Structure 1
């Protein structure tokens, strides 16, 4: 009877992990598709109106695609755990690249490198991203925590960081359009750069911080990856 119970629990665990892996692949696919569209719109519009914040936002979307692609590559293999460390390194480098670009762009903005024109398209794009990105981040992070995947959790944080950047760019565009406060966006962007550096370090060190949640375990999805918070 005990052996039968163990077999049932093992099967349930295997089926649950397979389901979570499929969910993560779906979330990653949606994230990549949305960010490709976002990057194209932001880069084209940012170039048209000479907006360094919109161009930076578009490049952030490119980095987000590379991060999501790393997780997609990991879960496309027969043994995702074997690819975890490489995926985490790619995500960490993406964070560092984003931090570097945002910091440089913020300093250039503070030094008055360019005066951006009003952009209705930019405001609409960042407003939509402010709604879409938190949903994708929460869904992927929850699945990643339950599965015990540090890379999925790290990628969800990349998506969440995109939410913060969306808010920063949106506020900057609105303040620039209404009050002419060109310094608001670069100041906030420096905060985003600091957050990106922190998350990059966490991803770089987080190759084994998440433990899978097993049936009957006292751990919960919220507690399984506390070290990844």
Structure 2
């Protein structure tokens, strides 16, 4: 279980593993300022679902020589005290022993956005065998029948993608976010969190009128790439926490 069984609104900030030398300090700053869980992106050379900001963060991490083993070693040494969730792509998630390595490092959940429902079973089985929740994504374009199937097999929470497109900062929350979250909440008792384009505290406040929480990613990575410190990101997370 990723979250406590309560009605509190959930806040899940994101960081790209290895993006800066002190990236792990972001985990501490997020935790200390109200994060309920933290998403860690494994840098990837061809991140199909990620927009320019997360791609830039991945490129910077890879240029620093970041590896999955290095990220997991830093996570293992950290007492995060909140659930940690890894986001990666199928060609990593399908490697033998991958889920077990995550679990050994203290990871609780896994998001694999390019693994379609019809092909996700091997990843889900490996994740579950290692004690990880495999967290599904749904989008405004998801057909009602597939939405029901995804919700029925969901673990941890349901990640509701608010827009048809890649990740990225936006000046407003897309109008599709609320109806999508409302539809999914009729199909599962798990929390439904809105992500993609939650770029400001007011976006988060709007999102949780219909959803159980938010994922905040590109807005944080843009600030980090532009030179913000982990402490400054923690201050931003505190603003999101207050807003929801």
The answer to whether the superposition gives a TM-score over 0.5 is no
- Range class of TM-score, shorter chain: under 0.3
Structure whose residues are more often strand by fraction: 2
Structure whose residues are more often helix by fraction: 1
